[in-house]
Amino acid sequence: MSKTWEHYHHAARHHEKAAYHYNEAAKYNQAEEHEKEAHHAYLAHGHSQHALQHDVEAAKLHAEQCDNLGTPASAPAGPKKSAA
């Protein structure tokens, strides 16, 4: 399993958890249970932050992989000299 995939997977899980807690916070907001609402909003924010961190790491790894594919290892270091 690649590190990039792992980061995307963890980000997706944190996004799901954040969505759940945002929905719970909204329910408690309607019921005017502000302490529980604040708790779920806090948890949702934390999961959102973790998801963003994993998204960023996955994007960095993906960019590195793309850069490595674009630069062949056998490329000549200097300009070609003609035999003329």
Domain parsing of the chain, residue ranges: 3-69
**How many whole angstroms separate alpha carbon 26 and alpha carbon 37?**
7
pTM of the model: 0.74
pLDDT tens column, 38-84 = 999 999 999 999 999 999 999 999 999 898 887 665 555 555 555 55
